[in-house]
Amino acid sequence: MRFVKTVAAGVTLAAIAFGAQAQTPGVSASTILIGQSTPLTGANAELGSDIRNGALAYFAKVNDAGGVHGRKIELITLDDGNNIQRSQANTIELVEKRNVFALFGYPSATLSRPALPTVEKHRVPFLSPFTGADPMRVFHKHVYNMRGSYAEELEKIVDHFEPLGLKRFSIVHYDDVVGKENLTAVERALKKRNLSVVSVAAWKDRAKPDIEGGLKEVMKGQPDVVILTTLYKATADFVRAAKKAGFHAQMASNSFPGASPLAKELGAEGAGLIVATVVPPPTKRSQAIVQEYQAAIEKQLGKKEFSFTSLESYIAAKVTVEAMRRAGPNMTRESFQKALDGLKGYDAGGYIVNFSPTDHNGSSFVELTVLGRDRKYSY
């Protein structure tokens, strides 16, 4: 009789534990589902693919080692073609139909912001949006940024050139919320040095920017430095148009276009372009995280195709998994976020991430790199 009672109690406790686990979307006895909307087709497909591949490389490494508390991580990626409406629909699909545990690696503020109503409604952790835009860095309980801000990047660019005696700065941006924030960040950095923007090009149409018109507007100010904050195709087209016009101002870009896609698009024509990056160069093997990343991404892709973006995604995936481990075998969204909030001084291999319950911007790392004629960056 005592044995029967003990068995019954054990079954009851198991049922309670199973019931609690069953209430956590995206977590089963064998898997953890992570959702992602990103462009896998269209003009920004390379950026989206790099984000996906970096995450897959780390998740595969973890899964091959037995997973997290015995669970394998599965990344569900839906293509949005860099379209806001599709990204929003994908978010609803991932959260309400696919029942993912968390969202990861949306490629821009433009595609990330429409996800926020669904994130708030279902209290879904929203991890590593690939943007440094100010609107996404305002504290949000469920949003965790793993990288530095555009404002920090733009400050770094101005801080590099101003001591060299280059005082005349122009900016190229999109005429939207994020673009205007970038303009404000440059203006703020210049004001600290008693300078101001000498000319501006603001493009209303992301799909078909007026390259020639923008170049004419910028050239009116006779700038020493032009700061570009646009997608890689538009940035590359502007640089090429400037060279063709005999306009030889120093060109610099924030990380928004993706350093690696930008290098491929420009080729030898990009020599001398300075780009701000928010992770170490993916060829800097003196850092442990880069060595680890290179081995994993080569295994994932079957070739040595390294990029700043896939490294950033790899690091973000590593931080995500660390929080999963700390959340324990009975992980819920709440315990996972509590674990993230406790990641203070977490060393991912030479890249430090800090979160707290009141600060979800994990890093301020910014480094400037220079593109050479061989499409490679020096640092």
Cα 23 to Cα 20, 33, 332, 340, distances in angstroms: 5, 14, 9, 20
For the cut 60, the answer to whether the pLDDT of residue 169 exceeds it is yes
Residue in 249, 251, 188 with CA at minimum distance from that of residue 222:
249
Cα separation, 191 vs 231, in Å, equals: 26
CB within 8 Å of 367: residues ≥ 6 apart: 276, 277, 278, 280, 281, 379
Domain 150-277 has CATH 3.30.70.1060: no
For the cut 80, the answer to whether the pLDDT of residue 4 exceeds it is no
DSSP code at position 353: E
Cα separation, 136 vs 374, in Å, equals: 35
Q: What is the model's pLDDT at position 44?
A: 85
Token output for 205: 């149409």
| Superfamily of domain covering 25-148+286-365 | Response regulator (3.40.50.2300)
Domain borders along the chain are: 25-148+286-365, 150-277
Report the chain's C-alpha Rg in angstroms: 22
Q: What is the model's pLDDT at position 10?
A: 43
Q: What is the model's pLDDT at position 22?
A: 52
For the cut 90, the answer to whether the pLDDT of residue 184 exceeds it is yes
Q: What is the model's pLDDT at position 18?
A: 42
CB within 8 Å of 314: residues ≥ 6 apart: 54, 55, 57, 58, 289, 293, 296, 297
Cα 119 to Cα 254, 284, 292, 304, 330, distances in angstroms: 28, 36, 32, 36, 22
Mean pLDDT, the chain, rounded, equals 93
For the cut 80, the answer to whether the pLDDT of residue 13 exceeds it is no
pLDDT band at 8 (very low <50, low <70, confident <90, very high): very low
Beta pairing, strands 169-174 & 274-277: unpaired
- Can 25-148+286-365 and 150-277 be said to share one CATH topology? yes
Residue in 319, 356, 371, 248 with CA at minimum distance from that of residue 55:
319
Burial class (CB in 10 A: 0-12, 13-18, 19+), 317: buried
Bigger pLDDT: 346 vs 19: 346
For 287-340, how does the pLDDT look when each residue is reduced to its tens digit (9 = 90+)? 999 999 999 999 999 999 999 999 999 999 999 999 999 999 999 999 999 999
Phi, psi (rounded to 5 degrees) for 273: -65, 135
Helix (H, G, I), strand (E, B) or coil at 351: coil
Amino acid at 363: S
H helix count then E strand count, the chain? 14, 14
Average pLDDT over residues 68-79: 98
Asked if residue 317 lies in contact with residue 54, where contact means CB atoms within 8 angstroms, the answer is: yes
Q: What is the model's pLDDT at position 2?
A: 44
Q: What is the model's pLDDT at position 48?
A: 94
For the cut 70, the answer to whether the pLDDT of residue 134 exceeds it is yes
170 bridge partner residues: 199, 226
